[in-house]
């Protein structure tokens, strides 16, 4: 790190502590009258933090990353220990110029970027970009934007942790090497605009492999038999019908492969007598799920709210950085949303217990605050789980200040956290075995089984119940059974044979793909959302009924990578590489050897692939639509502007039309059509009504489907300085972004 008039002090503390590089001046040059400059990433975060600091602080935003590897070249010196060359991003040059001027006026620089590796790297880049080497520099970290957290962080500053910076540098260099060596190969051999990446390509392979499992799956017919029964009338007790399922035939598991076999058994069951042979009752407890990590938040928001991963992270960022709560001003509502830890601060647990006791009573409190063990590989236990910054701030109290989607996500986070601190649910389960045969008491040929459950104490269930994926079942959903006793006779109501077919594994949703990536140790919390977005933007996958379906292009690219770059798309190899990156962050490994071990065999594979891969062509995809001009089938073609429908009789028939890609938003102008994504002749994306030309609505920015709370205009998402932001298309309202600098 090039410096001017500075010394570098390296401090190695006891085992397990943090090695730091701290920048200090060689003498006291700061003016006592100058302000301390605090730099954060976003304007919303700057606005919120500025509320807690006095007049001796100025808070400014870097607007995210300010330096990166150059776009026009590799930017990594492979021959000299993979030395990266960083440049100030073109769009950030005015921001850096302003920050540099502010640094020179400040008495000291305080870097308050996010508390993860990427945030640490941004802090280091800010020192380099602003040439702050002749100023005192302090690094502070906090996991929630509250006054107590900010004051605590200011009281315990540290230096830049170069282990975290180097872990991030290694990740960036590896990604650049993979992208810049494989992507041009794909451009030459397949088509322009394609890309490959360490995490991206493995995620795509999972989707492609799952699709092939589905396509090769051969369904097998099988039958089940349910029997509706009712206790025989016994005195004044009102008989309650229930259902039992055939469990055994002469001691063996039922094999009912076809209708003929099933109907033969059904006829015997219709003539049989039924009696209870055993009743097993058990009391069970169900503990609440732990508070959210990044991946579990993305999964649950997908299940319960149907939010795509990118939207979940966008909304969580807004809730973390701060929302205007009327007289309270800007308030950070949740803790940092990129985390793989389930730890919770003791103070937050105590506050949650106060809320629970006041609202539901002390019966709903466990004896001691619960402790949740980490499950994710490489979980950073210095982080906290995602939780409300103030558990007493319930969703309804802030609802007037939030957009509908912000409210939905905050409610989900609040309910999950409060539930995680509550007592377990207690419920009874009953399993009844029923014999069926010619006469009661004989060795019955058939055994049926019925199960039921009754919640005795709801515990955390009064607040929250975890969502489930489509194929999952829950015994709490079982209906209660009537009181039954051993030996009790039962009366038959109906025998119901039913045909089934075995099902293939389900396609991935965004939520289940994130779950699988986490379980396999592929990627980290900050990578899930951009990885899935890249797969969609590159048209490697499309979303159909909320499921990820690989396109022919995605399948083709995967096959090429599997054949020529097996390590790049190998799950075990990629997981191990993630562990090595974690070891760099913990100081167990140096980053250059890790990159070298990956790059040398990888580069040999690239050289071999240049000779071995032949040019491939993407076949047109057939459709069920007929050409309205000649009647021949329409096909889906790919162009530089995206996919479109074309007549299969081209060039004899030149009919073609856009392939409408719906974005899930009703047209705000006509209220009948759906908004679709289109491309202009120059390739620029815009959004219009599917009923065009009857409806002429058009927007260059993607509508969210929500209305502005100030003027009723349409809220849209736009790209500004490399970041997505939401704003009103009619007025100046912005729910999550304001001026680039806030001064106290």
Q: Which residues are catalytic?
A: 336
Q: What is the DSSP string of 570-612?
A: -HHHHHHHHHHHHHHHTTSS-HHHHHHHHHHHHHHHHHHHHHH
Q: Which letter, b or e, does each residue of 478-506 get, where b requires 16 or more Cβ atoms within 10 Å of its Cβ?
A: beebbebeeebebebeebebeeeeeeeee
Say which residues have a Cβ less than 8 Å from residue 696's Cβ, sequence separation at least 6: 669, 688, 689
Element (H, E) at 450: strand 446-457
Residues 585/73/536/517 CA torsion (nearest 10 deg):
-20
Is the distance from CB of 642 to CB of 539 less than 8 angstroms? yes
Cα–Cα dist 684/687, whole Å: 10
Residues 25/28/29/33 CA torsion (nearest 10 deg):
130
**Tokens linked to 595:** 């990159």
HEC per residue, 253-316: CCCCCCHHHHHHHHHHHHCCEEEEEEEEEEEEEECCCCCECHHHHHHHHHHHHCCCHHHHHHHH
Look up tokens 């109501």; give the residue.
493
Is the distance from CB of 571 to CB of 565 less than 8 angstroms? no
Cα–Cα dist 521/524, whole Å: 8
Is the distance from CB of 554 to CB of 540 less than 8 angstroms? yes
Dihedral angle sign, alpha carbons of residues 42, 48, 53, 55: positive
- 23 forms beta bridges with 8
Taking residue 655's Cβ as centre, other Cβ atoms within 10 Å add up to 15
Taking residue 88's Cβ as centre, other Cβ atoms within 10 Å add up to 17
């Amino acid at each position: 790190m090039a410096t001017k008039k500075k010394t570098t002090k390296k401090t190695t503390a006891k085992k397990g502590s943090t090695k730091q590089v701290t920048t200090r001046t060689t003498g006291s040059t700061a003016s006592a009258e100058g302000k301390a400059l605090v730099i954060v990433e976003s304007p919303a975060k700057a606005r919120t933090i500025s509320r807690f600091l006095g007049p001796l602080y100025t808070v400014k935003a870097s607007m995210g990353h300010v330096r990166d590897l150059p776009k026009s070249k590799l930017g990594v010196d492979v021959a000299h220990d993979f030395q990266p060359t960083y440049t100030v991003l073109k769009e950030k040059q005015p921001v850096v110029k302003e920050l540099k001027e502010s640094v020179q006026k400040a008495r000291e620089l305080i870097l308050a970027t996010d508390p993860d590796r990427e945030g640490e790297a941004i802090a280091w880049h800010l020192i380099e970009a602003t040439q702050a080497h002749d100023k005192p520099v302090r690094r502070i970290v906090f996991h929630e934007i509250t006054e107590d957290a900010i004051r605590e962080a200011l009281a315990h500053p540290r230096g830049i942790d170069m282990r975290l910076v180097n872990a991030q540098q290694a990740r960036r260099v590896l990604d650049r090497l993979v992208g810049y060596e494989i992507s041009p190969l794909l451009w030459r051999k397949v088509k322009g605009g394609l890309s490959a990446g360490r995490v991206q390509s493995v995620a795509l392979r999972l989707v492609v492999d799952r699709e092939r499992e589905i396509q090769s799956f051969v369904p097998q017919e099988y039958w089940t038999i349910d029997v509706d029964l009712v206790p025989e009338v016994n005195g004044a007790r009102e008989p309650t019908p229930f259902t039992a399922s055939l469990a055994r035939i002469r001691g063996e598991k039922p094999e009912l492969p076809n209708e003929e076999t099933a109907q033969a058994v059904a006829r015997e069951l219709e003539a049989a007598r039924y009696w209870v042979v055993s009743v097993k009752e058990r009391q069970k407890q169900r503990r609440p799920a732990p508070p959210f990590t990044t991946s579990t938040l993305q999964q649950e928001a997908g299940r319960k709210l149907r939010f795509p991963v990118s939207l979940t992270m966008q909304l969580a960022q807004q809730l973390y950085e701060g929302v205007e709560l009327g007289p309270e001003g800007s308030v950070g509502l949740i803790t940092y949303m990129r985390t793989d830890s389930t730890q919770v601060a003791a103070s937050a647990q105590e506050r949650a217990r106060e809320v629970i006791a006041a609202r539901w009573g002390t019966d709903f409190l466990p004896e001691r605050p619960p402790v949740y063990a980490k499950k994710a590989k490489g979980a950073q236990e210095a982080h906290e789980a995602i939780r409300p910054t103030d558990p007493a701030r319930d969703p309804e109290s802030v609802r007037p200040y939030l957009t509908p989607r912000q409210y939905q996500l905050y409610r989900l986070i609040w309910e999950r956290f409060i539930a995680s601190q509550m007592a377990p649910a207690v419920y009874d389960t009953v399993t009844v075995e029923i014999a069926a045969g010619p006469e009661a008491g004989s060795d019955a040929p058939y055994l049926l089984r019925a199960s039921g459950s009754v919640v005795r104490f709801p515990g955390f269930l009064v607040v929250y119940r975890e969502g489930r994926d489509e194929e999952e079942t829950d015994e709490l959903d079982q209906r209660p059974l009537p009181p039954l006793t051993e030996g009790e006779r039962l009366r038959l109501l109906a025998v119901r044979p039913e045909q089934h077919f075995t099902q293939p594994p389900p396609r991935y949703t965004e939520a289940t793909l994130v779950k699988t990536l986490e379980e396999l140790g592929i990627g980290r919390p900050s990578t899930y959302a951009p990885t899935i977005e890249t797969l969609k933007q590159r048209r490697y996958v499309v979303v159909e009924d909320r499921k990820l379906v690989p396109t022919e292009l995605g399948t083709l690219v995967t096959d090429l990578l599997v054949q020529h770059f097996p390590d790049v798309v190998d799950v075990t190899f990629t997981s191990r590489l993630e562990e090595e990156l974690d070891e760099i962050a913990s100081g167990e490994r140096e980053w250059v050897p890790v990159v070298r071990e990956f790059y040398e065999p990888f580069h040999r594979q690239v050289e071999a692939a240049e000779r071995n891969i032949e040019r491939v062509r993407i076949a047109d995809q057939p459709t069920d639509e007929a050409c309205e001009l000649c009647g021949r089938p329409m096909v889906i073609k790919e162009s530089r502007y995206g996919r479109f429908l074309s007549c299969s009789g081209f060039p004899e028939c030149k009919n073609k039309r856009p392939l409408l890609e719906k974005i899930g938003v009703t047209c705000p102008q006509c209220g009948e059509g759906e908004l679709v994504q289109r491309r202009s002749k120059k390739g620029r994306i815009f959004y219009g009504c599917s009923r065009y030309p009857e409806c002429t609505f058009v927007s260059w920015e993607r509508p969210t489907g929500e209305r502005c709370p100030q003027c009723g205009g349409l809220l849209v998402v736009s790209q500004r300085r490399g970041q997505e932001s939401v704003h009103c298309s009619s007025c100046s309202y912005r729910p999550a972004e304001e001026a680039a600098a806030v001064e106290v």
